Amino acid sequence: MASIADICNSALSHCGTRSRIGALDEGSAEASACLTHFAMVRDATLRTFDWNFARITVALAELADPPARWAHKYALPTDCVRLRRLNDVPMAMLTETLCEIAADRESTGAIVPVLLTNATPVAAIYTAQVIDPLRWDPGFADAMTYGLAARICFELTGKDDRARTLTQLWQAILQRAGADMANETMAGGTGALNHTWLPEALQARGFVTGGAT
């Protein structure tokens, strides 16, 4: 599996530089650029899809004193980068009157994310902030190299045309990696053998499994 240095060096190679780094904190211009953007690219890439390796199911802990318009307030996990489902219902299918993701202030004064809802109990499926690259899916790691390259390319090379190309490659590879993972998830499900997940861009153009409609 790829290490953080491996991912950064792949990103540098995509940018067209010959430099390589040994660690994010070594102090070189290349390492500093990678350090600046690495965590943001990782979290943005995690948020994009319901990655199998980062999917966690948990019963949410109820908190006291919900606001007047809601019956219950729950603590969201501190490592949650995107909430996917509540009680096994996708967030996109929930109405605004069922729940709301908001911020609250702890007794220490710290701001924390919370879920406000009238439902009880609540189980959540979410994408966790997986920091260790050894846990990443190979497709995710590959997408990370292009996402990082797109962020640091202009800073290191001044080539805005290459940066735009890298952004396009990142989007394409990310869609493919997400599709591969979604198809893994469907294995064993109803109709799984006869169904292939397609990116939204293709679905919008009328494509279905096996060709266009």
What does the pLDDT read at residue 149? 97
CB 167 within 8 A of CB 15: no
Ranges of each domain in the chain: 4-51+137-201, 54-128
pLDDT digits (tens, 9 = 90+) for 172-185: 999 999 888 888 76
Of the pLDDT bands very low, low, confident and very high (cuts 50, 70, 90), residue 58 is: very high
- Which token pair is 3? 């290490």
Per-residue pLDDT at 201 exceeds 60: no
Whole-number average pLDDT of the chain: 86
Residue 204: the pLDDT is: 47
**pLDDT at position 98:** 82
Contacts of 29 (CB under 8 A, 6+ apart): 156
Sign of CA dihedral 202, 203, 204, 205: positive
**Prediction pTM value:** 0.81
Q: Which amino acid is at 28?
A: S
One-letter amino acid of 130: V
Q: What is the pLDDT of residue 96?
A: 65
Residue with tokens 């890298």: 166
Query: Are the C-beta atoms of residues 52 and 42 closer than 8 Å to each other?
Result: no
Q: What is the CA radius of gyration of the chain?
A: 20
| Residue 188 pLDDT grade (very low, low, confident, very high; cuts 50, 70, 90) | very low
